[in-house]
């Protein structure tokens, strides 16, 4: 699995490097910076896993058990489906609506936490994500049909040209 993830990391780094991956003066990080550097960290982590596997340095690296047994697989499938739906919603409803729905569903339904806790995560996560990406580092994320609702917010932050 680590080798597969390492190969995927390398692919993501190559694709991200087609865009600027450094700092662009008066703009912030290039469009490929976040995916490139996150993929680089993932590649390093995969390298560490492979080294531990070769050295048999951890209990999982010495185990002959299946990677995922039936109960583990059953707990992964709902999250995989939820993530697929979330990513699909990015272009339609926008990242922030998709994040809101994801967090509420994940925390309240899959995580079995209270409605209140799920609602708190569903509100706080998109707000913090918006402030970090759109306002702080000026990386514009897809907003889907909700884009007109963001124009007054951009105007408030002096970003009317976006």
Say whether both 87 and 133 belong to one domain: yes
Structure-token match 């970090």, residue found: 132
Q: Are 118 and 146 in contact (CB under 8 A)?
A: no
- Among the three residues 45, 65, 85, which one is the final residue of a domain in this structure? 65
> Which structural domain range is residue 135 located in?
68-162
Q: pLDDT tens, position by position, for the chain (162 residues)? A: 899 999 999 999 999 999 999 998 988 888 899 899 999 999 999 999 999 999 999 888 888 888 788 888 899 999 999 999 999 999 999 999 999 999 999 999 999 999 999 999 999 999 999 999 888 878 889 999 999 999 899 888 888 655
Say whether both 95 and 120 belong to one domain: yes
Q: Are 94 and 140 in contact (CB under 8 A)?
A: no
Say whether both 56 and 75 belong to one domain: no
Say whether both 61 and 72 belong to one domain: no
In order of 28, 87, 128, 147, 150, the CA distances from 135 in angstroms are 11, 22, 10, 15, 12
Q: Are 154 and 43 in contact (CB under 8 A)?
A: no
- Among the three residues 65, 86, 102, which one is the final residue of a domain in this structure? 65
- Among the three residues 14, 43, 65, which one is the final residue of a domain in this structure? 65
- Domain count across the chain: 2
Say whether both 126 and 144 belong to one domain: yes
């Amino acid at each position: 699995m680590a080798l597969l993830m390492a190969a995927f990391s390398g692919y993501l780094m190559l694709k991200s490097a087609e865009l600027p991956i450094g700092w662009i003066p008066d703009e912030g990080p290039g469009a490929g910076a976040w995916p490139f550097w996150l993929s680089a960290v993932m590649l390093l982590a995969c390298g560490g896993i492979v080294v531990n596997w070769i050295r048999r340095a951890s209990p999982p690296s010495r185990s002959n058990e299946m990677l995922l047994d039936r109960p583990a697989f059953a707990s992964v499938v709902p999250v995989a489906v939820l993530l697929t739906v979330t990513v699909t919603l990015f272009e339609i409803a926008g990242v922030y609506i998709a994040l809101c729905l994801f967090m509420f569903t994940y925390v309240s339904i899959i995580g079995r936490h209270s409605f209140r806790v799920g609602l708190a995560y569903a509100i706080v996560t998109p707000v913090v994500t918006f402030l970090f990406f759109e306002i702080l580092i000026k990386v514009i994320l897809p907003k889907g049909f909700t884009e007109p609702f963001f124009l007054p917010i951009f105007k408030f932050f002096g970003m009317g040209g976006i």
